[in-house]
Amino acid sequence: MLTPTVKPAQANRLGVLISGRGSNLQSIIDAIARGDLQARVAVVISNRADAAGLARAREAGIEAVHLDPRRHPDRSSYDRAIVAALQQREVDLVCLAGFMRLVGAPLLDAFPQRVLNIHPSLLPSFPGLDGQRQALEHGVRISGATVHLVTAELDGGPIVLQSAVPVHDDDTVEALSARILVEEHRLYPEAIRLVLDGAWRVDGRRFRRV
Ligand code: GRF
């Protein structure tokens, strides 16, 4: 019997939200292309028209949408527009990848335990902006990257995966960021695979594999 070489259409549809460079988006696209992640990116949405990640998406044949927050009276209205765009594309899992906005109840309610974020520190240390700079200025010897489920608490949801890197004596923010970014690019596709796999539950603050 012939083994089919064409994979069936993937049911796992990702919606990736970005604001800028899009290197984590690229790592997801690449992991899918390599066959390491059984999913497809159904849509990329940016709050900024000039996000380089939009071009990366189009290059890969992925629909790329700019949703302008200034066209909405408040955050909730903007969040609802994002939800509508994601639902139209039948997205299963939302991945924040350098999306520089707080996400609110409309998105979290529409995708319960289905919104992921990547953060450039070992949470709960150094949440918020400039995680790498915060780590360097605090003087920690180890930092890293965290992928977590998104909740209403900023960078505070259950931790899916983390990866650590050393902080060197002569580090600059740029050097540390680059070291962390290498881990981010490895970690995010792996965390997405784990979450899509479904063999987990949230127990209090803990993300636990079952
Ligand atoms: C990454 O460092 C990510 O951890 C943080 O924002 C940055 C986005 O970079 N949330 P990129 O747009 O994926 O290149």
Q: Whose CA is nearest to atom 2 of ligand 1?
A: 120
Q: pLDDT tens digit string along 132-146?
A: 999 999 999 999 999
Q: DSSP letters along 119-179, please?
A: ESS-TTSS-SS-HHHHHHHHT-SEEEEEEEE--SSTT-SPEEEEEEEE--TT--HHHHHHH
* Mean pLDDT over each residue of the chain, to the nearest integer: 95
* Nearest atom (ligand 1) to Cα of 181: 2
Q: List the catalytic residues.
A: 119
Tell me the three state secondary structure of residue 86.
helix
Distance 98 CA to ligand 1 centre (A): 4
Residues 80, 86: Cα–Cα separation, whole Å: 10
Does this model's pTM top 0.75? Answer: yes
**Helix or strand holding residue 186 (H, E):** helix 173-197
Q: pLDDT tens digit string along 165-187?
A: 999 999 999 999 999 999 999 99
pLDDT average, residue stretch 98-114:
97
Distance 48 CA to ligand 1 centre (A): 14
Beta-carbon contacts of residue 129 (< 8 Å; ≥ 6 apart): none
Residues 171, 20: Cα–Cα separation, whole Å: 24
DSSP conformation class of 8: P
Residue 33 predicted with pLDDT over 90: yes
Pocket perturbation via mutation, ligand 1, pick of 19, 143, 184 by most ligand atoms within 8 A of CB: 184
Residue 2 predicted with pLDDT over 60: no
Q: pLDDT tens digit string along 60-102?
A: 999 999 999 999 999 999 999 999 999 999 999 999 999 999 9
Chain centre to alpha carbon of residue 39: 14
Distance 155 CA to ligand 1 centre (A): 13
